[in-house]
Structure 1
Amino acid sequence: MSRSIWFVAGAGAGIYAITRARRVAETFTSEGLRDRLGALAVGARLFRDEVRAGQHDSETHLRERMGLVPHGIPELTASDSGLNTLAGARYSTTAEPEGTTRGHR
């Protein structure tokens, strides 16, 4: 009885070793290497997409917390009307002639 158990165990170990050796040999063929590089590219693409999704979620969360609209400009309310005139004065479209400064002619 013990001989048959050892025979089955040896046969199972032999089959396992042959299967593993075949898989390792297949890995180093041109098709196997191509498959591994393709899998690496897919993994990198998935990782990149996950990072972008996380960045988008974080940015959306921060914009909501800071009260910004989706395109990044803060919403102006009636209490902010003074800020609007200051910004308009700073970014005035009227240009002075070159070589002159305000108040000095």
Structure 2
Amino acid sequence: MNRAVWFAAGTGVGVYAVVRARRLAEALTPDGARDRLAGLRHGARLMAEEFASSAAERDAELRERLGLVPHGVPELTPGAAGSGLPGTIAAPEHPDQHPHPRRPGADDRATQEGTS
């Protein structure tokens, strides 16, 4: 019985060594190298796609928490300045009232002189 156990163990080790040697030999051929490179490219592409989707998901979560519109431009809602929402401004109370009054500048002087 002792010889049968050692024979089975030797056969198992021999089979394992042959399989490993065959895999190594195939990895060193041009086709094997091409397959490994294709696998690396595929893995890198999957990782980049996963990263992009996770970043977009996190971006959407942050925009929702901060009250921003999906494209990152804050909403400018007339009359909502007191609402406490980010990115809101109040509309002028009178149509002629402008929040930033114009001061006469070079453009106004050129118009007054008749040159443009």
Please, which of 95, 99, 107 is the counterpart of residue 97 of structure 1? 107
Unmatched tracts of structure 1, length 5 or more: 101-105
Q: Which has the higher contact order (CA 8 A, sep 6+)?
A: 2
Q: Sequence identity, in percent?
A: 44
Unmatched tracts of structure 2, length 5 or more: 82-88, 93-97, 111-116
CA RMSD of aligned residues (A): 2.8
- Helix, strand or coil for the counterpart of 1:82? coil
Q: Tell me what 1:103 maps to.
A: none
Deviation of 1:96 (Å): 4.7
How does the TM-score come out when normalised to structure 1? 0.76
The Cα offsets for residues 3-48 of structure 1, whole Å up to 9 and x where unpaired, read as 1111111111111111110011111100100000000000100010
Report the AA paired with residue 17 of structure 2.
Answer: A
Q: Tell me what 2:13 maps to.
A: 13
- Helix, strand or coil for the counterpart of 1:50? helix
Q: Choose between structure 1 and 2: higher helix proportion.
A: 1
* Mapping for residues 17-96 of structure 1, pairs under 5 Å: 17-77=17-77, 78-80=79-81, 81-82=89-90, 86=99, 89=100, 96=106
How does the TM-score come out when normalised to structure 2? 0.69
